[in-house]
Structure 1
Amino acid sequence: MKAPHAVSRLRAERLARSAKPFLARGGIKGERCTGCRLVPSHCLCGVRPEVATQSGICLVMADIEPLKPSNTGWLIADVVPDTFAFGWARTEVDPALLSLLADPQWQPYVVFPGEFVAPERVVHAVPTLSNNLPSGQRPLFILLDATWPEARKMFRKSPYLNRLPVLSLNPEQVSRYQLRRSKRDDHFCTSEVAAMCLELAGEAQAADILQAYLDVYTHHYLQAKHQLPPDLQGPAHARWQSLKRS
């Protein structure tokens, strides 16, 4: 069994601080696999991918995000080995997060829409593997894992992010995320944003695998919600198997 990843550890820490249990929807009497958060009959632990990446992902998570079965930061941590996860609070910051941002092996980028930022901070590209990372630093993508109103608040009230460049993405696709509702097609879930960042950094294989893994997870989640078995021959699993063979 693989060791718990960063989001799993953050979830355990958050549960330990809870005065009352977090009751997620679904499941027989609420049972969920501790490895993938799905009901046991729809467990995905057997297909958890392994991908080598040069990029890192730093998740700064709103208070209850690690507890939600629909949170896709968990999927990022399954795929990207160097995934870090920290809880966000307005009045304090985890010293380990500050140490990570100061680590010379990383070049951090806050991923956030450029329209909310001074133009001189905004970038639309990052050094890629094909350019041999000329700065000598690996890209570290900082994702504010929260609802959009929460993310805007987190961005405004996190002064330790003010010195960092802001990566503004210009996606052409429409979000395929189905586990939570959004009124806008240009709002993407955290896993989709991470996949865009990986592709921008020249890690197309990892980006494709992360997106396909999200599709498989979404299928299992929704099938469990409707008390239907997962379709292991359906389009989500077919694409997943084709990527594993490539």
Structure 2
Amino acid sequence: MNPESEGHVVARLRAERLAASTKPFVARGGAGGRCAGCRLPHAYCVCDLRPSVATRAGMCLLMGDIEALKPSNTGWLIADLVSDTWAFAWARTRVDPRLLALLEDPQWQPYVVFPGEFVEPSRVVGEVLPPQAEDGHPRRPLFILLDGTWTEARKMFNKSPYLSRFPVLSLNPGTVSNYRLRRSTRDDHFCTAEVAALCLALAGETRAAEVLGAWLDVFSTQYLQAKRHLRPDRETEAHRRLSGLSDAPADQATTGLAV
């Protein structure tokens, strides 16, 4: 199962959700239309800046009801970068059989990413240590990210019994979120792309973590420029950081994420 063979997985999920909707979803601030590739107004499009980096880890996004429809959703950015990304709409009463098949795939070791303070301690882990598969090779980490509001994420965690057999990866980043597109009442709440970057760093994929963080910063900068009706500006610190990471050889990437 390769998500690349079916196009951008979050874009596909968005199309499925729109097709099933009984009324149109209209995102604020989209006068004049948005780019289908990055969801930004056309004058602020960043598709030509989309980075490329190899990753061994996989990402599985369980998305709240309208999360894929929101232009500010950052799960989309993960799928931009991590080739082995899957996205599924979450529902309490039904489970996508493709999700269950993914969780059974022997090449992957799933980790449910969720705060350990809300979980039975015996399930909580703080590091990524894939067990050996039957062929003697380490299984690849598959990070299950609950993509939605905090209320939605807690419901997904508590009402998804098929996730209960997997370890829970509890992150301790030691920093506060830099996410600027939505408000949260708690500084320790991170957006989905920030969580994914922290997971990649824990899996030893420092370069991918940094590039994803930089891609999020560029997207957020362009998004806010559009929201505030500012002139598109690609000479920002966020743009320079992404350009530097994109140009640097893979073995020269710095280790900027602390976990």
Q: Distance in 2 between matches of 1:36 and 1:138?
A: 28
Partner in structure 2 of residue 37 of structure 1: 39
In the TM superposition, 1:207-246 aligns within 5 A as 207-246=209-248
1:10 aligns with 2:4: no
SS in 2 for 1:28: coil
Partner of 1:109: 111
- The superposition leaves residues 130-170 of structure 1 with CA deviations (integer Å, 9 ceiling, x where unpaired) of xxxx7620000000001001110111000000111000011
Pick aligned residue for 1:69 from 60, 68, 71? 71
**1:51 corresponds to which residue?**
53
Shift in Å at residue 48 of structure 1? 1.0
Query: Contact (CA 8 Å) 1:106, 1:138: kept in 2 or not?
Result: yes
Q: Which residue of 2 aligns with 1:24?
A: 27
* Percent identity for Structure 1 against Structure 2: 66
Q: Distance in 2 between matches of 1:176 and 1:20?
A: 34
Partners of 1:82 and 1:70 in 2: how far apart? Answer: 22
Q: Matched residue of 2:145: which SS? A: strand
Task: Give me the TM-score of the superposition, normalised by structure 2.
Answer: 0.90
Contact 1:55 1:140 in 2 (8 A): yes
Contact 1:101 1:108 in 2 (8 A): yes
The one-letter code sitting in structure 1 at the alignment partner of 2:206 is A
Q: Which residue of 2 aligns with 1:131?
A: none
State the shift of 1:229 in Å.
Answer: 1.9
Using the alignment, how far apart are the partners of 1:109 and 1:205 within structure 2?
21
Whole-Å separation in 2 of the counterparts to 1:240 and 1:103: 34
Q: CA deviation at 1:3?
A: 6.6
RMSD of the alignment, in Å? Answer: 1.3
Cα displacement string for residues 76-118 of structure 1 (whole angstroms, at most 9, x for unaligned residues)? 0000000000000000000000000000000000000111111
- Cα distance between partner residues in 1 of 2:247 and 2:72: 28
Q: Deviating runs (4+, > 2 A) in structure 1? A: none
SS at match of 2:144: strand
Question: Normalised by the size of structure 1, how large is the TM-score?
Answer: 0.95
Unaligned runs of 5+ in 1: 129-133
